[in-house]
Structure 1
Amino acid sequence: MVHLYYDSKTGNVQRFIQKVAQITGWQVHKIEDGLKVCEAGHLVTYTTKLGCVPDNTRLFMDRHADMIYSVTSSGNRNWGKNFGLAANKVSEDYDVPLAMKFELSGTMEDIHQFIDIIKHQYNDSKRGSKKLDIA
């Protein structure tokens, strides 16, 4: 079973995750106080303040980075080079492969691409390559 851990502020990431879960049946876990991480999985977060990692995401990764196979981030293309930059920063800071980035709550194409990446590159793997093969 695939486990997805997500952080969402405006609801964009939550909408993306809910669509993924509806299609796949994967387990989703919202990052919040008291979340116990018992299974390794994948992180999906958002980018805030024009390129920053959300505080909640950083705290989560400080505690559970060894349980995370990949990181994906939402963003806004209006931010130019800062689009989805949280994923790059999490990848670099915690040595976790970057799976992909998507805009706002993602398109159906983004959702299917994410599912494909997780199924074929990172599911049940030992973190895979740190290289940005997809993003």
Structure 2
Amino acid sequence: MVQRLITVQLVYDSLTGNVRRFAQAVALECGGAELLDLRQQTPEREFLLLTYTFGTGEVPVTTRKFLQSHGHLLRGVVASGSFHWGRNFARAADLIAAEYRVPVVAKLNKGGTLGDRQTVSHWLRSMNGTLD
């Protein structure tokens, strides 16, 4: 079995594909971090949640339901949104972070940027103690 550089699992919820593509890119940058779709899989250990913001700044129902069962393993959150939402931009991250007392690792405008991927990858490596 191949040992992964990152032990924190990446769990994502994606509506349009932006969050899924971002999570896949981060997983690759981190040497193949384990990636789970929360609609199909459940985490076995602590995880970073990557989700989207729905409606007027709300947490998606699928994400909220998943966290009711697995929130005790949550270690950080990343959320996407659109700058056009103003103060509700990626607000799901703020709501989840406050409820589960975890850090907001990043807020993504739609699919995120290279800088966003680097921020999330750095956080993951720091959680695992494998900073360059």
TM-score, with normalisation over the residues of structure 2? 0.86
| 1:108 equivalenced with 2:118 (yes/no) | no
Q: RMSD of aligned C-alpha atoms? A: 1.5
Secondary structure of 2:112 counterpart:
coil
Q: Deviations over 1:45-97 (max 9, x none)?
A: 00010200000100111111110110110110010000000000011122222
| 1:9 equivalenced with 2:15 (yes/no) | yes
Secondary structure of 1:20 counterpart:
helix
* 1:41 Cα deviation after fit: 1.1
Question: Which residue in 2 is equivalent to 1:27?
Answer: 34
Identity among equivalent positions (%) equals: 34
Aligned residues: 122
Question: Which residue in 2 is equivalent to 1:47?
Answer: 53
Listed as ranges, the gaps of 5+ residues in structure 1 are 126-135
Secondary structure of 2:39 counterpart:
coil
Secondary structure of 1:71 counterpart:
strand
| 1:69 equivalenced with 2:75 (yes/no) | yes
Question: Which residue in 2 is equivalent to 1:88?
Answer: 94
* Regions of 4+ moved over 4 Å: none
TM-score, with normalisation over the residues of structure 1? 0.84
Q: Deviations over 1:7-31 (max 9, x none)?
A: 0000000010111112211000001
* 1:37 Cα deviation after fit: 2.1
Listed as ranges, the gaps of 5+ residues in structure 2 are 1-6
Distance 1:62 1:124 in 2: 25
Amino acid at match of 1:38: E
Distance 1:63 1:4 in 2: 16
Question: Which residue in 1 is equivalent to 2:66?
Answer: 60
